[in-house]
């Protein structure tokens, strides 16, 4: 990330030029309501003037023991149906000792509970907006009809509530939920509106993998924030049009986290719930671990790796065998050397755990018929700041960009169009579907991207073909999951019927 001042200066000048041109091109159709000269990166800090302006993340000091979100208690449950109440609310939360941070949360002050669902169940969610502003409830990764998907047109005003119903038809997966109101998504997520959804099915219940919640099956929500001197989340101040990053990493809302645990295999269900930061994780002893899931569920077989990259909104499940650690400590690291999570191992071995190696997790297939289908939808992701667009357009709630038939697979070509500055990564997400990657730049995807996905992160210049099928009907969003890009209109709509 370091550049010499000289190079930096030159690129800043070039960049400004590009922004000026970009600004005049896009200024007529910008969705940003403050019509002033709102040039990306300029108003906050001159250090934001590069595509590469990502705030450096501080290491965890390992001061606070990790906590895990509560599992939400159903209002009602029987063998084939379940109902929950989910409440968006504001509160204060002691992220730092003795300090009260003003936050948002679901059914609590900060972040949300884990919502457990089972395949085949009829689900009813009673949704309540206890905030003082509009919000929506979006189920990221759930294959549900468009009218209950919680897109920007499904606003609940303050103190409004409604009940939605759907049936869980998809396989076991780790999903999440967050708000989606136009222009406000980034700020609401930043303040704490995010929670996880676990879907289980007979496969996930029978596999010999760790599955005791909070014991060896651990949710890990990664989010970076910037705190003011009095430990508040000032989104307006921290905001960057190209994605807000922070210097302070929270895991499940815990600052300077550490994990104390028995020496055994643990399953980490990692969600990147950050506005824009991508994480690249490894252990400080460079031990191998196994990725067993991607966004939409289990990979066909575990993928052994030493490092894993997780773009905004993506989920991965990994199994780390802590019995293989020499000594009493191992640390999860981001990129070069930022300590994300120091893990302290108790002396006691846990012998109760099943040690059978699971090799078959799933049976996903991508047929030749699908692979050879012609591309029928093309998506060009381009721009930065206020100038972001999809196929040259910004989001318009009155425009349907594409249509597709329910249960029909089409091949979408997604391209991250390189700009004169090199461009930036765009994590592209589609609502209401779990797709499969056919190829990236013409080559079959690596093992870890060959399972079900709802988000694919593309580097500048990269092009991917994906097989997309919607199992329900309705209108769905597709967008860049850098939340500020989404809020700036890097989003479109598809109607499935
Ligand atoms: Cu996480 Cu529009 O979604
Ligand atoms: Cu989504
Ligand atoms: Cu983007």
pLDDT digits (tens, 9 = 90+) for 191-243: 999 999 999 999 999 999 999 999 999 999 999 999 999 999 999 999 999 99
C-alpha to C-alpha distance for 198 and 176, rounded to whole angstroms: 8
Give yes or no for residue 493 CB within 6 A of ligand 1.
Answer: no
Q: How many CB atoms lie within 10 A of CB 15?
A: 20
For residue 424, the ligand closest to its alpha carbon is 3
Give yes or no for residue 485 CB within 6 A of ligand 1.
Answer: no
Structure confidence at residue 347 (pLDDT): 81
CA of 211 from ligand 2 middle (Å) equals: 25
Say what the pTM is: 0.90
> Of all protein residues, whose CA lies closest to atom 1 belonging to ligand 1?
140
Return the closest-CA partner of residue 209 out of 75, 364, 320: 320
Q: Dihedral, CA atoms, 166, 172, 174, 180, nearest 10 degrees?
A: -20
69 neighbors 120 (Cβ within 8 angstroms): no
8 neighbors 51 (Cβ within 8 angstroms): no
pLDDT digits (tens, 9 = 90+) for 328-356: 999 999 998 999 999 999 987 655 665 55
pLDDT digits (tens, 9 = 90+) for 58-98: 999 999 999 999 999 999 999 999 999 999 999 999 999 99
- Strand, helix or coil at 448? helix
For residue 313, the ligand closest to its alpha carbon is 1
Q: Which residues of 402-439 are buried (b: 16+ CB within 10 A; e: fewer)?
A: bebeeeebbbbbbbbbebebebbbbbbbbbbbbbbbbe
Give yes or no for residue 138 CB within 6 A of ligand 1.
Answer: yes
DSSP state of 393: B
For the chain, percent of residues with pLDDT exceeding 70: 88
Structure confidence at residue 447 (pLDDT): 95
483 neighbors 391 (Cβ within 8 angstroms): no
Strands (E), 69-203: 76-77, 81-93, 101-106, 114-118, 122-129, 138-140, 161-167, 173-178, 195-200
The domains found in the chain, sorted by start residue, are: 5-48 (no CATH), 67-206 (2.60.40.420), 218-349 (2.60.40.420), 368-496 (2.60.40.420)
486 neighbors 462 (Cβ within 8 angstroms): no
C-alpha to C-alpha distance for 373 and 412, rounded to whole angstroms: 10
pLDDT in 10s for each residue of the chain, 497 residues: 334 444 444 444 444 444 444 333 333 333 333 333 334 433 343 333 445 579 999 999 999 999 999 999 999 999 999 999 999 999 999 999 999 999 999 999 999 999 999 999 999 999 999 999 999 999 999 999 999 999 999 999 999 999 999 999 999 999 999 999 999 999 999 999 999 999 999 999 999 999 999 999 999 999 999 999 999 999 999 999 999 999 999 999 999 999 999 999 999 999 999 999 999 999 999 999 999 999 999 999 999 999 999 999 999 999 999 999 999 999 999 998 999 999 999 987 655 665 556 689 999 999 999 999 999 999 999 999 889 999 999 999 999 999 999 999 999 999 999 987 788 999 999 999 999 999 999 999 999 999 999 999 999 999 999 999 999 999 999 999 999 999 999 999 999 99
């Amino acid at each position: 990330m370091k550049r010499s001042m000289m190079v930096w200066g030159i690129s800043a000048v070039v960049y400004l030029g590009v922004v000026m041109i970009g600004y005049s091109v896009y200024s007529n159709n910008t969705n940003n309501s403050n019509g002033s000269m709102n040039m990306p990166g300029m108003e906050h800090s001159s250090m934001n003037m590069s595509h590469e302006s990502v705030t450096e993340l501080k290491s965890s000091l390992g001061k606070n023991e990790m906590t895990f979100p509560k599992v939400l208690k159903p209002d009602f449950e029987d063998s084939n149906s379940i109902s929950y109440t989910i409440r968006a609310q504001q509160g204060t939360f002691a992220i730092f000792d003795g300090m009260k941070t003003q936050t948002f949360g679901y059914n609590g002050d900060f972040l949300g509970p884990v919502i457990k669902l089972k395949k085949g169940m009829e689900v009813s969610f009673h949704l309540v907006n206890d905030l003082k502003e509009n919000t929506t409830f979006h189920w990221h990764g759930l294959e549900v009809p468009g009218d209950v998907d919680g897109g920007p047109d499904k606003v609940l005003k303050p103190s409004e509530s409604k009940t939605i119903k759907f049936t869980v038809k998809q396989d076991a997966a780790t999903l999440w939920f967050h708000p989606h109101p136009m222009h406000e998504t980034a700020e609401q997520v930043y303040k704490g509106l995010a929670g996880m959804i676990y879907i289980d099915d007979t496969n996930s219940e029978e596999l010999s993998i760790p599955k005791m919640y909070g014991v060896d099956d651990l949710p890990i929500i990664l989010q970076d924030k910037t705190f003011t001197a009095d430990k508040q989340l000032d989104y307006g101040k921290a905001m960057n049009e190209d994605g807000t990053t922070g210097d302070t990493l929270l895991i499940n809302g815990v600052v300077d986290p550490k994990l104390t645990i028995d020496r055994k295999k643990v399953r980490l269900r990692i969600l990147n719930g950050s506005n824009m930061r991508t994480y690249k994780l490894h252990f400080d002893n460079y031990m191998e671990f196994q990725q067993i899931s991607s966004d939409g569920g289990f990979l066909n077989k575990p993928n052994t790796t030493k490092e894993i990259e997780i773009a905004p909104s993506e989920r991965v499940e990994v199994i780390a065998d802590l019995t293989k650690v020499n000594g009493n400590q191992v640390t999860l690291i981001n990129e070069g050397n930022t300590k994300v999570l120091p893990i302290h191992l108790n002396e006691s071995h846990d012998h109760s755990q099943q040690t059978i190696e699971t090799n078959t997790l799933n049976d996903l297939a991508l047929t030749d018929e699908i692979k050879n289908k012609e591309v029928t939808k093309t998506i060009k992701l381009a721009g930065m700041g206020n100038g972001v667009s999809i196929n040259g357009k910004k989001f318009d709630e009155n425009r349907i960009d594409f249509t597709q038939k329910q249960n029909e697979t089409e091949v979408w070509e997604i391209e991250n169009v390189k700009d004169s500055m090199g461009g930036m990564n765009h994590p592209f997400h589609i609502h209401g579907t779990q797709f499969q990657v056919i190829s990236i730049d013409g080559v079959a995807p690596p093992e870890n991207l060959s399972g079900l996905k709802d988000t694919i992160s593309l580097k500048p210049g990269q092009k991917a073909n994906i097989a997309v099928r919607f199992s329900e009907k309705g209108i769905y969003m597709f967008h860049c999951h850098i939340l500020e890009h989404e809020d700036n209109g890097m989003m479109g709509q598809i109607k499935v019927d």
